[in-house]
Amino acid sequence: MARPVAAAALTFIGGLFIILGGFLFAVLGAFVALLGFLSGFFLLGILVGFLILVVGALMLAVPAGHVVWGVLGVVLAIASIPLAFGGFLIGFLLTLIGGLLAIRWKRPIEQWITVEGRKVPPSV
């Protein structure tokens, strides 16, 4: 069974960078919390990174939904910009390219020879 492997790999690697950016954002949030401002907003970058990893895994597990997974990857990549610094921009770009590749992916045509395809005209 054919799968969008390149799209899934780029999305997965981009998700790892976005998780790193989310951790950096969470550390920044911890310093802000020392000043008395508590917010769970800083942990959303890590959540977006994990969701991107799930989308990358779903591209391999359920290739029939490649368009849905690609659109989710693109949306989550855009959401990662304010939430996780875009994974140092590298994660954003890799996830964006992976999502676009998943949207554009075409299942290879399976060539089956059927009985109808082998019929020859009757001899006279």
Give the pLDDT confidence of 49-92 residue by residue, as tens digits: 999 999 999 999 999 999 999 999 999 999 999 999 999 999 99
pLDDT at 115: 63
- Give the mean pLDDT of the chain: 90
What is this structure's pTM?
0.84
Cα–Cα distances (Å) from 1 to 7, 32, 63, in that order, read: 16, 49, 9
- pLDDT over 80 at 6, yes or no: yes
- pLDDT over 90 at 41, yes or no: no
The runs of H, that is alpha helices, within the chain are: 5-34, 44-61, 66-84, 90-104
pLDDT digits (tens, 9 = 90+) for 8-38: 999 999 999 999 999 998 898 888 888 887 7
